[in-house]
Structure 1
């Protein structure tokens, strides 16, 4: 695993530091700022922390060859060393949900609950998508000099629901444009290499899997599969939303997360 002992992570925080911690892990199609609707609501009762993962926003770049093990360890250091937390509730979207699966299985003592949004138990789960071809295509695009802003515009418009309002697309594009090529390459590798199927049974905390009903990237079937693999987990499908469910239809997402956080169901 690549070494990066001095990795610096930037984050956005809201709420009283004395309250239980709620940590948000963003998607490749996002950054810390993509959680604004949820942080605004939950900051009344939680210490809300949204990180910029390595290569995004104000965080340092990831080292060459950084993988899921490195990312999980970087998250652990961020939680325990930087924030000084003994445990927290976590919400992860897309690749953030993938990271959360590995993190919750590896460090169950640090995870009070896990909400996994628009994610999958394994890259291309149940299909025949070639992870190498997927990664090579994106990395070639980035290496050709495509700017993060242009890359973000194309990706966001491709993954939201057909009826997603333009202002939501712009909000998501603006958040994802905080990425650098390093972060986009890291998340590409994490997505392509992701396989938590044999780990999900080790997750012991209350867990919610969620997906947008119109998510073509990680469809509702993936949320149901995750819930079936984690003991006691449940799944919720949100209407009128694609792959960025927390922004595309934030009211029912936030309401469902509130019930889950309050009751563990």
Structure 2
């Protein structure tokens, strides 16, 4: 694990060795998760592509501290970016995309494809929009939406807030409690090691980051921005959906995908994986890795 200070927060990341192939694959995890969930995919893809996985601000090993200087709605500028300074709140997908821009600049990565899961998919789309000179394409896994259903989003936000109130750190020491995560949001039970990791990430996520990233990413205004963002991205954008995803059903994945030009040109830019829930990179790593290779080959 390596670290870098980004806007006052120490960010943790893992970077595999360079390979002759380009681009660099940049993996962005979802809400209440961490970079470790990408390991099955990285093991399959790293022989051909250099891979970067990092923890979002406030999650995993990128923990906030009392001295962290957060943006809090201030205008942030991307050094060397074609995009102008953008006023953002501290936990929107756009704000997290600007963290990623700083990380890529620090690592001198100028040719990347972003691969994001769930919330990480939204962050990846914003990164593609903000950094077209650097991000050459995006692949969203178990990510979609772009349609605001008031009652459903209110229930989701309320349930998320209640869940965040019930996560004392001693919870991770209770025997067998991690087994609650074995079937949560997935089509088939995941391995015990991932149950344990989900429990750890659940209780360790910083309270401010966990709550604010949930609320800031699910407002009506933020949800309605996504189709606009997707429609303006000129780089290739693809979506990988789980056929049995109860969090982001394939119909909502296709809805957001339909706003990109590839949907009209190629007829479809969505790959649907059978017998797969909301954690495709753990449930079906071979299928997901194969899909990623195939998509990258199209643009080699």
Structure 1 alignment gaps of length 5 or more: none
TM-superposed CA distance for 1:17, in Å, is: 6.5
Deviations 1:161-185 (A, max 9, x none): 2x33454752652573453334422
Q: Which runs of 5+ in 2 are unaligned?
A: 1-5, 73-88, 264-268
Q: Distance in 2 between matches of 1:225 and 1:167?
A: 34
One of 189, 199, 210 as aligned partner of 1:164: 189
Residue in structure 2 matched with residue 212 of structure 1 by the alignment: 242
In the alignment, which residue of structure 1 is the partner of 2:86?
none
Question: Which residue does the alignment assign to 2:207?
Answer: 181
The higher relative CO (CA closer than 8 Å, separation ≥ 6) is in 1
Out of 58, 68, 75, the position equivalent to 1:55 is 58
Distance 1:243 1:173, change over 3 A: same
Contact conserved, 2:114 with 2:139, CA < 8 A, in 1? yes
Deviation at 1:158, TM superposition (A): 2.8
Corresponding position of 2:293: 258
For 2:281, the equivalent position in structure 1 comes to 246
Q: Is 2:100 the counterpart of 1:75? A: yes
Matched, 1:45 2:63: no
Deviations 1:194-251 (A, max 9, x none): 4212221111111111110000111111221222111115100001110011111111
Q: Residue 230 of structure 2 aligns with which residue?
A: 200
Q: Deviations over 1:19-69 (max 9, x none)?
A: 531100001142100001111111112210001001112214274662323
* Match of residue 11 from structure 2: 9
CA–CA distance in 1 between the matches of 2:299 and 2:236?
6
Partner of 2:141: 117
- Kindly tell me: are residues 40 and 169 of structure 1, through their superposed partners in 2, closer, same or farther at Cα, counting changes over 3 Å? closer
Alpha-carbon RMSD across the aligned residues, in angstroms, is 2.9
Max Rg structure: 2
Matches of 2:211 and 2:96 in 1, distance apart?
13
User: Normalization by structure 2: what TM-score?
Assistant: 0.75
